């Protein structure tokens, strides 16, 4: 019964609907490609290659009284050279020992320090390989092809079954390093944690107090209007501007320490404050006025009604807002670049005023490095960051679902 005109209208209806599906599909495709791309880049970064060496911890070479001062590096190199007796030229020997990571000796040293009884025995020790050897063994095409001699040595070691793959625990337990195979995220994670503590400590009480005032107590006048305009504006100010504020005011005028979690946390607190205030106000507004009115009716003071009845009921909503605000602060990079949290810092920060960097900035720093092996490290750090952020978001969704009340 449908005539041509109606058929055309129905076709256009289906087309229009398709546009919507397409738009959402593109977003979904983009997201899955992004996650797939980053995870596949990250996976090699969680594995490290080691070469098993039969090291004789000769008491003549390792001084039991001075383990720290003993030359474990040299010992490992010697052992590796002994595996290839036919390598005689100086250049080739150098290339052979360059396959070992500079951390291999330190690892062995800490092993012996923990267990001094090993001295005088022969141990099978898996020594960490350098980043280029690691890349070669993983079959990742490096920026420049591995030196022919080195490739030959590695192939020989692999054929003998001396190469092992280990989970790179080091990535989670050490600080930054110039050597990709030794670089870890612990320093950045600690820096993020310290900065977040400062951010939370400042923005949560301030945000809730401001939201309470504006939503429950403030008279309707020019001052409160002005405050509201300010909050809405600050919510839309680019984050890099907050970095300029931190640099010009906190560091140059107030003399706060550069690169420190306390300064970074302060800047992030101001950055997320509007988000938290807006979320907290929405949560307070969602509590029906009848509850407050009932409290007032039985003789509670205005503050008693708000603090004893309205605020507790709004807590789940406020908490959701805080978690989302924290997630935003955790992923923020640009303002922290301004206040010097981009330095190369090996030590894991221990206090609020130690020089530190944070996880997103660490990602930025690593992504800029020329060594190909850092690409996997960068992707690995991104995976860690995303896992943390997604679990925050999941927590927020859970809280919303669990405590959501319809009045």
Partner 1 sequence: MIIWTFAIIATVIVLGFLVGRLRALGMARAGIGTLHSLPTYHGLLVGSAGFLGAAIAAIAVAFLDASPAFFAPAAAAILGTGAIAATNTLISRNFRARNYFEALVRMVLVVSSGVAILTTMGIVFSVLFETLAFFREVSPIAFLFGTHWAPTSTPPSFGILPLLAGTLLITVIAVAVAAPLGLFSAIYMAEYASRSARGVFKPVLEMLAGIPTVVLGFFAALTVAPLIRRAGETLGLNVASESALAAGLVMGMMIVPLISSLADDIINAVPQTLRDGSYAMGATKSETIKRVVLPAALPGIVSAFILAISRAIGETMIVVMAAGLAPNLTFNPLAAVTTITVQIVTLLVGDQEFNSAKTLSAFALGFVLFTFTLVLNYIALRVVQRYREQYD
The residues in 347-406 that bind partner 1, with binding defined as CB under 8 A, are 360-361, 363-364, 367, 375, 378-379, 382, 385-386, 389-390, 393
Judge contact between 316 and 403, C-beta under 8 A. yes
Count of residues engaged in binding partner 1, rule: CB under 8 A: 84
Report residue 166 as tokens.
Answer: 């280990």
As beta bridge partners, residue 50 has: 128, 164
- Using the minimum distance from each CB to partner 1, give the nearer residue, 116 or 201: 201
Instruction: Kindly report the backbone phi and psi dihedral angles of residue 55, in degrees, each rounded to the nearest multiple of 5, phi listed first.
Output: -95, 125
What residues have CB less than 8 Å from 232, skipping those under 6 apart? 274, 278
Is residue 156 a contact point for partner 1 (CB under 8 A)? no
Separation between Cα atoms, residue 237 and residue 188, nearest integer Å: 26
- Using the minimum distance from each CB to partner 1, give the nearer residue, 51 or 210: 210
Binding mask 5-44 for partner 1 (x = CB under 8 A): ----xx-xx-xxx-xxxxxx-xxx-xx--x--xx--x---
| Rounded least distance, CB 398 to partner 1, Å | 13
| Rounded least distance, CB 381 to partner 1, Å | 10
Is residue 206 a contact point for partner 1 (CB under 8 A)? yes
Work out whether the CA dihedral 391, 184, 263, 194 comes out positive or negative. positive
Is residue 257 a contact point for partner 1 (CB under 8 A)? no
**Only segment of 120-128, 179-187, 311-319, 333-341 that touches partner 1 (CB under 8 A):** 333-341
- Given the structure tokens 């050490």, which residue do they identify? 174
- Using the minimum distance from each CB to partner 1, give the nearer residue, 100 or 266: 266
| Given 80, 189, 212, 314, the residue binding partner 1 (CB under 8 A) | 212
Instruction: Kindly report the backbone phi and psi dihedral angles of residue 125, in degrees, each rounded to the nearest multiple of 5, phi listed first.
Output: -120, 125
| Rounded least distance, CB 254 to partner 1, Å | 10
DSSP 300-360: --HHHHIIIIIHHHHHHHHHHHHHHHHHHHHH--HHHHHTTTTS---SPP-STTS----HH
| Rounded least distance, CB 19 to partner 1, Å | 5
Separation between Cα atoms, residue 217 and residue 237, nearest integer Å: 27
DSSP label of 166:
E
| Given 76, 154, 188, 210, the residue binding partner 1 (CB under 8 A) | 210
Is residue 193 a contact point for partner 1 (CB under 8 A)? no
Binding mask 227-256 for partner 1 (x = CB under 8 A): x--xxxxx-xxxxxxxxxx-xxx--xx---
Is residue 226 a contact point for partner 1 (CB under 8 A)? yes
Judge contact between 228 and 214, C-beta under 8 A. yes
């Amino acid at each position: 019964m449908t005539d041509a005109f109606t058929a055309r209208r129905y076709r256009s209806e289906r087309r229009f609907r398709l546009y919507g599906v397409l738009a959402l599909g593109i977003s979904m495709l983009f997201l899955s490609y992004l996650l797939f791309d980053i995870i596949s880049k990250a996976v090699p970064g969680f594995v490290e290659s080691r070469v098993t060496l039969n090291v004789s911890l000769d008491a003549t070479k390792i001084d039991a009284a001075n383990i720290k001062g003993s030359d474990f590096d040299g010992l490992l190199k010697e052992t590796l050279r002994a595996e290839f007796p036919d390598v005689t030229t100086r250049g080739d020997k150098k290339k052979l020992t360059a396959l070992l990571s500079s951390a291999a000796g330190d690892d062995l040293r800490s092993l012996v320090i923990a267990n001094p009884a090993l001295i005088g025995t022969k141990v099978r020790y898996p020594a960490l390989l350098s980043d280029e050897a690691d890349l070669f063994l993983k079959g990742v095409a490096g920026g420049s092809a591995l030196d022919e001699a080195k490739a030959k040595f590695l192939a020989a070691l692999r054929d003998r079954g001396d190469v092992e793959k280990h989970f790179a625990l080091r990535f989670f337990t050490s600080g930054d390093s110039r050597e990709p195979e030794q670089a870890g995220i612990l320093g950045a994670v600690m820096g993020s944690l310290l900065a977040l503590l400062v951010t939370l400590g400042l923005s949560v009480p301030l945000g809730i107090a401001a939201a309470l005032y504006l939503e429950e107590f403030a008279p309707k006048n020019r001052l409160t209007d002005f405050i509201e305009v300010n909050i809405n504006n600050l919510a839309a100010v680019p984050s890099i501007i907050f970095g300029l504020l931190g640099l010009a005011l906190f560091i140059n005028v107030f003399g706060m320490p550069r690169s420190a979690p306390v300064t970074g946390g302060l800047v992030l607190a101001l950055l997320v404050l509007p988000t938290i205030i807006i979320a907290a106000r929405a949560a307070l507004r969602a509590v029906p006025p009848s509850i407050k009115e009932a409290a007032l009716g039985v003789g509670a003071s205005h503050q008693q009604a708000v603090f004893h009845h309205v605020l507790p009921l709004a807590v789940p909503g406020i908490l959701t807002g805080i978690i989302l605000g924290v997630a935003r602060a955790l992923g923020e990079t640009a303002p922290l670049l301004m206040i010097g949290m981009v330095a190369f810092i090996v030590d894991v920060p221990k206090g609020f005023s130690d020089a530190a960097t944070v996880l997103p900035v660490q990602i930025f720093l690593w992504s800029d490095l020329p060594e190909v092996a850092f690409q996997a490290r960068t992707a690995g750090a991104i995976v860690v960051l995303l896992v943390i952020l997604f679990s925050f978001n999941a927590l927020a969704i859970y809280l919303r679902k669990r405590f959501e009340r319809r009045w």
